[in-house]
Structure 1
Amino acid sequence: MFRFLVGRLLILIPTFIGVSLLAFFPIRLLAGDPVALLSGERVMSPERHAEISHQLGLDRPYIVQYLDYLWKILHGDFGVSISQKQPVLDQFFQLFPATLELSLCAIIFAIIIGIPAGILAAVKRGSFLDQLVMGTALIGFSMPIFWWGLLLIILFSGILQWTPVSGRISLMYFFPSVTGLMLVDSLLSGEPGAFKSAVSHLILPTIVLGTIPLAIIARQTRSAMLEVLSEDYVRTARAKGLSTFRVVGVHALRNALIPVVTTIGLQVGVMLAGAILTESIFSWPGVGKWMVDSVSRRDYPVIQGGLLIIAGLVMVVNLIVDLLYGLINPRIRH
């Protein structure tokens, strides 16, 4: 197990370097000058422009800037936002609880619906129900997030007026943030209606962000269940007269969950990538919206730092999934 862990950790090193390269160089190919954007509508003299560029280190060769940035990253320094004048790491962890809350609700939503749907489709293989579940999953997987989000807003917020359009909670509620998670803080506040308001603001973003992972989990569950249901021990369990619920829910599902758990872990990256669009659509004050706004301002430290931290979180989650997979199935270690 120790060799398995060391091998996985060694893979993370070139992966992190590759992500840092992708986070650093392509951003500088974008049109726009961060120094000029700082001045707004004011005209900046060439001398002042050169002075600020020198202060920010933007006048040095790209390779020198990259090596200096990588050295600082290794020492835990993700730089300071050009536009906000605040440490990138502090900004990230101020906004990350909102993204974490949305992502957790979305993955729970995807698991609760996706796994039972996949099991049902496998048990009813070839039936109309199977075709319906898989067809719906294919539509959900293929649906663009921005279009799906706008469609739900028009229907449930515009026409039916069941849910709010944007934000995390109604403006009529104000209470100190304890955990950064609005559902938890609204409960702790004791204000009547605060928790209900937080839930109502979370419904549409959760559905939008969780749709693609739900479709993937449902399809993976169906595939894994079909493979397991054809095994000899399942047929033996049925021949012994065990109930369908026990055969499917205990004997088959336990073994089918191994690839499903891996798929769920891989959806973390999908969640964080999808959160960028979802947060922009619903004005959700999280990391995704923060990074989108930083792109328009050409705030290099924020974009680079945000990408690296998110990539690091995804790599850690995938490492944990690999370790769990190795514990569940010892053959994977070899």
Structure 2
Amino acid sequence: MFRFLIGRLALLVPTFLGVTIVAFGFIRLLPGDPVLLLAGERGITEERYNQLMEQFGFSRPIWEQYFDYLVGLLQGDLGTSIVTKKPVVTEFFTLFPATAELALCAIILAVAIGIPAGIFAAVKRGSFFDQTIMGTALIGYSMPIFWWGLLLIILFSGILQWTPVSGRISLMFFFPQPTGFMLIDSLLSGQKGAFASAARHLILPAIVLATIPLAVIARQTRSAMLEVLGEDYVRTARAKGLTPFRVVGMHALRNALIPVITTIGLQVGVLLAGAILTETIFSWPGIGKWMVDSIARRDYPVVQGGLLMIAAIVMVVNLTVDLLYGLVNPRIRHN
């Protein structure tokens, strides 16, 4: 296990280096001058423009800027925002709890519905229920997030008026947020109705963000279960007279979980990517909306640091998934 972990960590080094190149080059490929955008409609003199270019380091060659960027990363410095003048790390961890809360609720929803739906579809293979579940999953996977989100807003917020349109909680509530997770902080506040308000604001964004992962998990679970249900040990378990619950739940499901867990781990990247659109649609104050606003303002340090932190989270999650294989299936050993 230790050798496996060291080997995987060694592979993360070139991957991380590649991410730094992408993060550094991506924002600079977009048209627009960050200094001119910062000046806005007020305009700026040529002397002041040159001064700001020198101050931010944009007047130096690209390779020098990239080298300084790498040196800063080795020292734990992701830079300072051009617009807010705050450290990128501080802004990231201030906004990250909002995105983490949304992504966590979305993945819980996707797993809680997707795995049982996939199991049921596999057990009832070829039936009306199987075709309905898989057809619905295909529609959910194919549905654009921005269209699906706006549709739910029109229906549940506009016509039915069951849920709020945007934000994390009603403006009538104000309390300290020590954890950054609105559901937890609203409970700790003790204010009547605060938790219900936070939950109502979370429903639609979580459903929209969970749609694609739910569809993928359901289809992968069905595929894995169909492969396992045809194995000899499953037929033997049935021949022994074990109940369908024990055959499916204890024998088949455990051996089918490896590809499902891999799929769930890969969905973390999908969730973080989908959060950009979801947070923009619902004005959710998280990392996604922060990144979109920073791209529009050509805030180089924020975009670079944000992409790097998101990539690091995805890599850590995928490494954790690999380590979980041995716990789910004892036959797998990391030699």
Counterpart amino acid of 1:299? D
User: Where does residue 55 of structure 2 map in the other structure?
Assistant: 55
Q: How many residues align?
A: 334
Counterpart amino acid of 2:128? F
Written as runs of structure 1 = structure 2, the 5 A alignment for 1:254-273 is 254-273=254-273
Residue aligned with 1:112, SS: helix
Does the 8 Å contact 2:148/2:208 carry over to 1? yes
State which drifts further: 244-253 or 274-283: 244-253
Counterpart amino acid of 1:136? T
> Is 1:42 paired with 2:42?
yes
CA–CA separation in structure 1 for the residues paired with 2:54 and 2:33: 14
Deviation at 1:274, TM superposition (A): 0.6
Does the 8 Å contact 2:34/2:299 carry over to 1? yes
CA–CA separation in structure 2 for the residues paired with 1:302 and 1:154: 33
Deviation at 1:261, TM superposition (A): 1.3
User: Where does residue 297 of structure 2 map in the other structure?
Assistant: 297
Deviation at 1:207, TM superposition (A): 0.3
Q: Deviations over 1:115-167 (max 9, x none)?
A: 00000000000111101111111111111111110010011111111100000
Deviation at 1:92, TM superposition (A): 0.4
Q: Structure 1 residues 133 and 332 mapped into 2: Cα distance closer, same or farther (>3 Å)?
A: farther
CA–CA separation in structure 2 for the residues paired with 1:105 and 1:297: 30
CA–CA separation in structure 2 for the residues paired with 1:171 and 1:150: 22
Residue aligned with 2:168, SS: coil
Does the 8 Å contact 2:165/2:282 carry over to 1? yes
> Is 1:5 paired with 2:5?
yes
Q: TM-score, normalised by structure 2?
A: 0.98
State which drifts further: 192-201 or 250-259: 250-259
CA–CA separation in structure 1 for the residues paired with 2:144 and 2:89: 31
Residue aligned with 2:214, SS: helix
% of aligned pairs identical?
74
User: Where does residue 131 of structure 2 map in the other structure?
Assistant: 131
CA–CA separation in structure 2 for the residues paired with 1:329 and 1:227: 19
Q: TM-score, normalised by structure 1?
A: 0.98
Residue aligned with 2:89, SS: helix
Unaligned 5+ segments in structure 2 are none
Written as runs of structure 1 = structure 2, the 5 A alignment for 1:6-45 is 6-45=6-45
- Structure 1 stretches of at least 4 aligned residues deviating more than 6 Å after TM superposition: none
CA–CA separation in structure 2 for the residues paired with 1:332 and 1:215: 30
Deviation at 1:45, TM superposition (A): 0.9
CA–CA separation in structure 2 for the residues paired with 1:299 and 1:197: 33
Does the 8 Å contact 2:325/2:332 carry over to 1? no
Deviation at 1:329, TM superposition (A): 5.3
Written as runs of structure 1 = structure 2, the 5 A alignment for 1:1-334 is 1-327=1-327, 328=329, 331=332, 333=334
Deviation at 1:10, TM superposition (A): 1.1
State which drifts further: 38-47 or 107-116: 38-47
State which drifts further: 80-89 or 233-242: 233-242
CA–CA separation in structure 2 for the residues paired with 1:78 and 1:271: 23
CA–CA separation in structure 2 for the residues paired with 1:330 and 1:90: 43
Deviation at 1:243, TM superposition (A): 1.3
Does the 8 Å contact 2:119/2:225 carry over to 1? yes
CA–CA separation in structure 2 for the residues paired with 1:133 and 1:329: 31
Q: Deviations over 1:72-105 (max 9, x none)?
A: 0111000000000000000000000000000000
CA–CA separation in structure 2 for the residues paired with 1:29 and 1:257: 41
RMSD in angstroms over aligned alpha carbons? Answer: 1.1
State which drifts further: 281-290 or 320-329: 320-329
Residue aligned with 1:333, SS: coil
Deviation at 1:26, TM superposition (A): 2.3
